[in-house]
Structure 1
Amino acid sequence: MAARRFRPGRWLALWTVRLVLFAAAVLFIAVGCFAVFDPPTTPYMRAERQRLGAIDHEWVPIDDVAPAMARSAVAAEDANFCEHWGFDMTAIRMALEDGAARGASTISQQVAKNLYLWQGRSWTRKALEAVITPAIELVWSKRRILEVYLNIAEFDEGVFGVDAAAQHYFGVTPAKLSDTQAARLAAILPDPKGRSASRPSDFVRKRAAQVRDGAATIRADGRAACFEG
């Protein structure tokens, strides 16, 4: 019997397919795991714990968070959260038209980055984020995405998650947050180390008022329906 001739192209194609399938399996295991189990930490939390010595973080179910907080986070960070599949194409187009002066990152993208990846800007990280985000949207509910987001977001140096933030700034549990307090917490999310919810600057007060109005608007027009019971 004649020996089978080695074909480099076929061998490369076969192993490429195997690697792609393996990567897809790993991705869906990683995403599927946290669809059920609450992530105990993130790469950024670990880095901050090592830098600071300790961080303040306690997981809280979204059922124990004031609905105003969930609506405020969406109004502040991703008003079309219920209407997109992970990428807000309208916001992306507007960002490009503005020369990237405005942010276009959705809550789903932020969860993908904060939970699975590293901080900083690089094409590698953005590429991985672009792969992980639709996987999260496919496997998780919108309510779960928002629950994870609220529990891993940074609200001050070493303060992670809405439970720690509510206690840190206002001395209340997240279930007791008022509309104004929730709006202020959402208003500091883009710059948690430079803004304060309990000692708000004029800018934070103005931004919080906008967020509070936005939260009321998305509740009224149905854009909060995907994460509210």
Structure 2
Amino acid sequence: MVTKAAGRPRRRWISIPLKILMWFVIISLVLVAVFRFVPPAVTMTMIMDGNGITKDWMPLSEIDPDMPRAAIAAEDSKFCSHHGFDAVAIAQAMRHNASGGRVRGGSTISQQTAKNVFLFQGGGFIRKGFEAWFTVLIEAIWGKRRIMEVYLNVAETGIGTYGVNAGSMRYFHHDASKLSPSEAARIAAVLPLPKKRAAIAPQGFTRRYGNSIQRRIGMVRNEGLDDCL
């Protein structure tokens, strides 16, 4: 027979995780709702960056349209059609990485935005689980236009440099409203490895990748792959 006294500790151990989960859901919903309208002031990636923080928020309406097109061309061609996850890209990345060689990611722009704003770099499968949760939330609450706007303003574009506007000022000495297709493509080429690649006089793979992105910008525009923006 289980006494009342013995049952109380058991209920307490069950209730504590439930309360933690409940508060996590509430806090994450509030944060996502707030950032639907308010620019994130700082992210964990910025805080952990020992090179300082240079950033300058610019609304999507003021960023040259070729910049989000370049991001779609480089990072996520199905951005406007998926609901946060690209199962095909994830499966392809897993098969490629299993074969060795250069590691390839399968994350969408939505997933990268969720990670950049609410989480941190690294962390393995646990972080991926939280990333999936926040991806679902921002897809439901923010919508595609806001996701792209936040992504282009918090993504690391150089050493200690965050957002395409700060990146444009760093590399080309003008703001992101006046980017040429070539400049937008160069910034997009830097995004996967911003601490190791340079948008000015790019060499080797970065140069070839930037040229490829520039060619695909027209395809994104002509095929309406940026219609959700």
TM-score, length-scaled by structure 1 = 0.89
CA distance in 1, matches of 2:124, 2:16: 27
TM-superposition CA deviations, 1:135-166 (whole Å, max 9, x none): 11111010110111111111111111111111
Secondary structure of the residue that 1:71 maps to in structure 2? helix
Structure 1: gaps spanning 5 or more residues: none
CA distance in 2, matches of 1:70, 1:130: 22
Q: Is 1:92 the counterpart of 2:93 in the alignment? A: no
The AA in structure 2 aligned to 1:147 is E
- Residue 18 of structure 1 and its aligned partner are, at CA, apart by 4.4
Aligned to 2:31: 30
- Residue 190 of structure 1 and its aligned partner are, at CA, apart by 0.8
Aligned to 1:175: 177
CA distance in 1, matches of 2:88, 2:126: 24
Segment of structure 1 superposing worse, 202-211 or 156-165: 202-211
CA distance in 2, matches of 1:151, 1:125: 22
Aligned to 1:190: 192
CA distance in 1, matches of 2:186, 2:29: 35
CA distance in 2, matches of 1:17, 1:55: 37
TM-superposition CA deviations, 1:5-34 (whole Å, max 9, x none): 875676666665544333221111011110
- Residue 102 of structure 1 and its aligned partner are, at CA, apart by 2.2
Secondary structure of the residue that 2:157 maps to in structure 1? strand
Identity, % of aligned pairs?
Answer: 39
Question: Given the superposition, is the C-alpha separation of residues 44 and 210 from structure 1 closer, same or farther in structure 2, using an over 3 Å criterion?
Answer: same
Q: Is 1:72 the counterpart of 2:42 in the alignment? A: no
The AA in structure 2 aligned to 1:95 is A
TM-superposition CA deviations, 1:150-186 (whole Å, max 9, x none): 1111111111111111111001110100011000110
Structure 2: gaps spanning 5 or more residues: none
The AA in structure 2 aligned to 1:63 is S
TM-superposition CA deviations, 1:34-92 (whole Å, max 9, x none): 001011111111222xx23x321111111111000010011111111111111110101
TM-superposition CA deviations, 1:172-222 (whole Å, max 9, x none): 110100011000110111111111111211322211121122221122222
Secondary structure of the residue that 1:155 maps to in structure 2? strand
CA distance in 1, matches of 2:13, 2:80: 41
Aligned to 2:201: 199
CA distance in 1, matches of 2:23, 2:205: 48
The AA in structure 2 aligned to 1:38 is P
Aligned to 1:47: 48
